[in-house]
Amino acid sequence: MFLGGDLGGTKTLLALAEKDAAGGMRIVRQQRFASADYPDFETLLDEFLADRPSIAAACFGVAGPTDGRNAKLTYLPWSLAANELERRFAIPRVTLANDFAAAAHGLTLVEAERILTLHAGQPVEHAPRVILGAGTAGTMVAATGVVVMPASMPPPKPVFRADRPFLFLIRDDATGTILFLGRVVDPTRQERGGPAS
């Protein structure tokens, strides 16, 4: 069984899931809580896990900064420590993630019919992906975040453009000695049978 959660200033969403026969995840139980009704996350989680199911791992997206092991919510007086959650709830591994970063990691799992295209374009393989969102505290917009997730993007190939005069040299890296020095006066002109002058 796996435990996931989205912890925000207004609401906290928790879900228990298990792997299905196809290797996907199936939600077994989920519940929404009014975050401000609880003095801390542990009290809320204690209520959700009252039947003490066996959990292999947990990940919580938190509305605030985190280093993966500790977090402080921006709009609540909640502080979380993964070590304490692991100990108190007998969960072998707990990960804390920023809520926008967690949402960005899930982009590839969103079903196509749930995506609304605002402006059509051409998808670019390995291009960065962006997720935008606004959090709420009460009825006011309280936060806006942007997460750019590099999708294993390879580094750009260097491009050399010779469109003006330039000097070039060949240098021995070990000694720093210049082995050859040359110049190109007009790189746009190509003489027959020879290199550019």
Model confidence over 38-80: pLDDT tens digits?
999 999 999 999 999 999 999 999 998 999 999 999 889 999 9
What is the strand order of the sheet 11-19 is part of? 25-34, 11-19, 2-7, 57-62, 94-98
pLDDT of residue 155: 57
**Full-model pTM:** 0.66
Burial grade of 52 (CB within 10 A; 0-12, 13-18, 19 or more):
exposed
Q: Which residue has the higher pLDDT, 40 or 109?
A: 40
pLDDT of residue 197: 47
Q: Which residue has the higher pLDDT, 119 or 92?
A: 92
Mean pLDDT value across residues 174-184: 83
Query: Which DSSP string do the residues of 91-128 spell out, in sequence order?
Result: -S-EEEEEHHHHHHHTGGGS-GGG---SS-----TT--
Give me the domains of the chain, ranges plus CATH numbers. Answer: 2-149 (3.30.420.40), 162-197 (2.10.310)
Using CA atoms, how far residue 27 sits from 3, 24, 111, 114, in Å, is 10, 10, 16, 18
pLDDT of residue 139: 39
Query: What is the percent of the chain where pLDDT is above 70?
Result: 80
The average confidence (pLDDT) of the chain is 82
Model confidence over 116-165: pLDDT tens digits?
777 788 877 777 766 766 655 543 333 444 555 555 545 556 666 777 78
Does 184 score more than 90 pLDDT? no
pLDDT of residue 158: 66
- CB hemisphere CA count around 164 (13 angstroms): 0
